[in-house]
Structure 1
């Protein structure tokens, strides 16, 4: 019961803030210009600040476990490649593939992961290490697929054919310039070198970081187009099932067989089965992909994750693994 209450408390407020974003947009309190500017702010400033702070303040050097890190990296890579291959085989609309792939494999590891593990074990344990292992790959792989699947159009609206070589070059540039990847890189070095900020700087970074989640959620709600989302209900449902059930169903037994328990296993669960992260929408919108499908997957996975995560935790507890 405690796990269910916590899951509801962790996910329902997120969903309600999304609804608030839609309501205040309908009331003309905010407009499309605000949404576009807020997208850029979250992607370039707030999310990088949050990830930098979380990683820099953790003790990555002390908690480093090579088998755990490799497991997180390899599983993330397998999920990404498999979902991309399946989408190429079964999805007809090429313009939806980037958002579908990203929404299906990329978890809210940073936003929900630390809080979830800390709530269960009174400290973040292996969660920062999971973030270091998985989140950079989330962003690198997302940049790659969103670059290749971006809607490139002429002024008259016709699609532009872009060569693979040009796509690869652009993807590499986007990875190097990605603010989230840069923030994780510097956060990792600050953690390893145990660099501490003066109180003034620390409080400033904390204040900026604290704006990431609420503004991102309001922007998702404000940008959510219900009528268009209904037309894309099939890929939304399929992506949500992959995100909340299928990945964990395949890889959690492997993690248990490899001996991962308690905080390690909960961190892996968050990586595999937490809702799609709000930055899926931010990046899809910023990189000319299908932001409607991205927001639909985020909303649906957030809505149902309180149930699915509770079931996964119940199963793991019943098995004596956490």
Structure 2
């Protein structure tokens, strides 16, 4: 096999990992377009996903895997470093892409805050199954906390509001069903409490339902109309999130090689597009929600290219594993 044949083969494998995710997102967008689903469906589906499906899935994956392999300080340091670097770079350069100073926080949040909970986990699950979800669980939990703190800081700084305080953020983190599920799973795992088979089977059924339903909801919530305004900062923030972030991650993986499946998981987390939660927070703080929405839309659909090529390149470099 020639080198070009090998590259195309790897791209085909990488595309087989990423394309099902974007097909389901596109299906959600189309179903919303033809009015088969609506905002009420998306609202109820989101409540089921975030309050029941994902917490149970994360609990059982955390509780049932090797405890020593779940906690890895190197993994945490790499994903934290990637996030902090993107945050600092976007803070320093935001003024080059925005006209209104109030949009700085919206731009910065869109540049660093990834959709780990849905798309990050979906990529990990598609590539590595339950093992990938288990490896992603603790880094994801830590980064979610960091995301919230950094988002509050940058949005408050540019919008000059105290709507989101540090105390409220900490309260929200403690009460977050995903964090509760992960912490409960770690406690069960560390104490070696047995998990009844009926719970494992029920969780498996929920896991099979949760991520596809979440992807449909994301697709249904994306609005492709009115894409002309705020396009320049939206493109720039999207480049930070789906190009700069994975490049930094790849650089760190070259400098600090780790186990190849874990490397793949960290790449997917770093390369995931902007989180839909960023829109919700901006909307609540009376910021430029139109810009926030455009960053989500652009980064989500362009990431099918960046994630696919990045995954194939890392496999070619023998930095990450295939399933």
Distance 2:138 2:27 in 1: 32
Query: For 1:247 and 1:236, how far apart are their aligned partners in 2?
Result: 16
Determine which of 20, 24, 29 is the counterpart of 1:22: 29
* TM-score, normalised via structure 1 length: 0.76
Q: Can you give the 5+ residue segments of structure 2 that lack an aligned partner in the other structure?
A: 1-7
State how far apart, in whole Å, the 2-side matches of 1:204 and 1:233 are: 44
Cα pair 2:62 2:182 within 8 Å, conserved: yes
CA distance 1:149–1:316, shift in 2 (3 Å): closer
Among 63, 71, 74, the alignment partner of 2:81 is 74
* Displacement after TM superposition at 1:132 (Å): 0.8
Match of 1:104 among 109, 112, 115: 112
| 1:34-73 equivalence runs, <5 A | 34-62=41-69, 64-73=71-80
Deviations 1:266-305 (A, max 9, x none): 23322322344xxx22574378457665554444334333
Q: Secondary structure, in 3 states, of the residue corresponding to 2:37?
A: coil
Secondary structure of the 1:210 match is helix
Residues 189-227 of structure 1, C-alpha deviations (whole Å, 9 max, x = no match): 233334342122222222223332222222222222222
- 1:212-268 residue CA offsets vs partner (Å, 9 max, x unmatched): 222222222222222234434333322321222212323422331223353343233
Which position in structure 2 is the counterpart of 1:31? 38
Partner of 1:155: none
Q: Distance in 2 between matches of 1:229 and 1:244?
A: 19
Quick one: structure 1 residues 17 and 254, their matched pair in 2 at CA, closer, same or farther if it must change by over 3 Å? closer
CA deviations on 1:31-83 (whole Å, 9 max, x unpaired) are: 22222222222222222223223322321324644333333333334434544
Q: Does 1:171 align with 2:169?
A: yes
Residue number in structure 1 paired with 2:17:
10
- Please give the alpha-carbon distance, in whole angstroms, between the structure 2 residues aligned to 1:221 and 1:150: 26
Judge conservation of contact 2:136–2:265 (CA < 8 Å) in 1: yes
Give the conservation status (yes or no) of the 8 Å contact 1:21–1:218: yes
Query: Contact conserved, 2:105 with 2:155, CA < 8 A, in 1?
Result: no
Could you tell me how far apart the structure 2 residues matched to 1:182 and 1:20 are?
Answer: 31
Aligned residues: 304
SS class of match (2:144): helix
SS at match of 2:226: helix
The answer to whether the Cα contact below 8 Å between 2:53 and 2:206 also exists between their aligned partners in 1 is yes
Give the match for residue 157 of structure 1.
none
- Unaligned runs of at least 5 residues, structure 1: 152-159
Q: 1:195 to 1:286 in 2, by over 3 A?
A: farther
Q: Within the alignment, does 1:281 sit opposite 2:287 as a pair?
A: no
CA distance in 2, matches of 1:88, 1:131: 35
Aligned pairs (5 A) from 1:210-225: 210-225=208-223
| Secondary structure class of the residue paired with 1:37 | helix
SS in 2 for 1:124: helix
TM-score (normalised: structure 2): 0.76
Q: 1:154 corresponds to which residue? A: none
